Structure 1
Amino acid sequence: MNKPALLVMDMQNGIVSRFQDNQEMLRAVQKSVETARRHNIPVIFVRVTFSEGYPEVSPRNKAFSQIRQMGGMTVSDDATQIHESVQPHNGEPVVTKYRVSAFAGSTLEVILRSKQIDTLILTGIATSGVVLSTLREAADKDFVIQVLSDACADPDAEVHRVLTEKVFPRQADVLTVDDWIENLDSSRAQETD
């Protein structure tokens, strides 16, 4: 029997603010969090942030060296706090990462192993960033993976489509939040029969 956890990735103020127009995606993430809690599936939040002075940022890192130059995205910065639409409850971990993948420089794998999690349900922003990188690394680590396609978003809708329809299915089950909920409910009904 699989032991799942829902990863809510990069749903932090500075990133969600760029996707405020995508209310359907925000509602899908909220619905996935509420469903996971109702089904006693651990919810783990992942955010990207840096220490003051940016000691984690290499000048060779094209994306993150720009953040270093512009400032912000530090641990105490409002941009790195989990968005109000999906606030963690007491006891739900908030994992800090220093690169794109949820595993990179974080305690995520330690938390998953300590809870004996073997199945990851992925949500977050961006599909071509944290979702893709985390999926690839999780597959290499032999996790069972599900991607909730409507609870992910990307600045480029075509990139999101290609990833969720053509790339991700090679290593993960890709389904909507409603389909995932239906699967959970039918599994629960079978257990009680």
Structure 2
Amino acid sequence: MTTGQHSALLVMDIQRDVIALAGDGSGYLPRLRTAIDAARTAGIPVIYVVMGLRPDLPDTAPRTRMLAYVEQAGLFTEGAHGSQIHPDVAPLPGESVVTKRRGSAFSGSDMELVLRTHDVDHLILTGIATSGVVLHTACRANDMDLPLTILSDACMDLDPDVHRTLVEKLFPQWAEVTTAEAWAESIAE
């Protein structure tokens, strides 16, 4: 496992409305919590990423299919109850929360600044959706030459087949892919 003092765990789009849409019958939140607790114990920064759109929606464009859906569904409005980080995995005081405006954790956010301040040169990715924030962030991180670890069972997608294809076929070409438990054990050694 590639870990160390220059890694950061990204917990992405784990917002109340997202969890409500995805459901948690699979035990997703406890698996994610395993990774968060392990990172904290190992002194690895936990950085939360949330999608946030301003209430008057200047952040959306009607020609963008996904953002049009988000607007129609009323998702990700800054300050709304449903846009808050799910309380089961909420940040501790002092942990960074980055607000993004598009799919990638880097889009319209100060993520690069936060990573520089923590001297991060390796990302561990978790989040919902695998085909959304995880994929977009992995693409951008690869372009930035940042090594990646993706915790396959701490990522989730509304389409299980898409999730499986990404974590079994695409992501292994770009990143180390492991489980939350295996990663937690590797950093505890």
Which TM-score applies when normalising by structure 1?
0.92
**Match in the other structure for 1:164:** 167
Offset from partner CA, 1:80-107 (integer Å, 9 cap, x none): 1000110110011111111011110011
C-alpha change, 1:70 and 1:158, in structure 2 (3 Å) is closer
5+ unaligned residues in a row in structure 1: which ranges?
Answer: 187-193
Q: Which of 132, 135, 142 in structure 1 is aligned with 2:135?
A: 132
Q: Which of 4, 10, 13 in structure 1 is aligned with 2:13?
A: 10
Distance 1:86 1:162 in 2: 26
Cα deviation, residue 79, structure 1: 1.3
Distance 2:9 2:60 in 1: 28
Where relative contact order (Cα < 8 A, 6+ residues apart) is larger, the structure is 2
Distance 1:72 1:160 in 2: 22
Q: Which of 62, 66, 72 in structure 1 is aligned with 2:65?
A: 62
**Partner-residue secondary structure (3-state), 1:76:** coil
Which letter maps to 1:37? Answer: R
> How much identity, in percent, do the aligned residues show?
43
Distance 2:74 2:161 in 1: 30
Offset from partner CA, 1:38-65 (integer Å, 9 cap, x none): 1110000001111121111112111112
Which letter maps to 2:164? Answer: R
Cα deviation, residue 70, structure 1: 4.5
Q: Does 1:51 align with 2:57?
A: no
Q: Which of 144, 147, 153 in structure 1 is aligned with 2:156?
A: 153
5+ unaligned residues in a row in structure 2: which ranges?
Answer: none
Contact 2:129-2:156 within 8 A present in 1 as well: yes
Cα deviation, residue 175, structure 1: 0.2
Cα deviation, residue 183, structure 1: 1.5
Distance 1:114 1:30 in 2: 24
Distance 1:71 1:111 in 2: 28
Larger radius of gyration: 1
Which letter maps to 1:148? Answer: L
Which letter maps to 1:97? Answer: K
Distance 2:97 2:176 in 1: 25
- Kindly report which structure 2 residues correspond to 1:68-87, keeping only aligned pairs within 5 A, or say none: 68-87=71-90
Contact 1:2-1:118 within 8 A present in 2 as well: no
**Partner-residue secondary structure (3-state), 1:51:** coil
Distance 2:29 2:56 in 1: 32
Cα deviation, residue 72, structure 1: 4.7
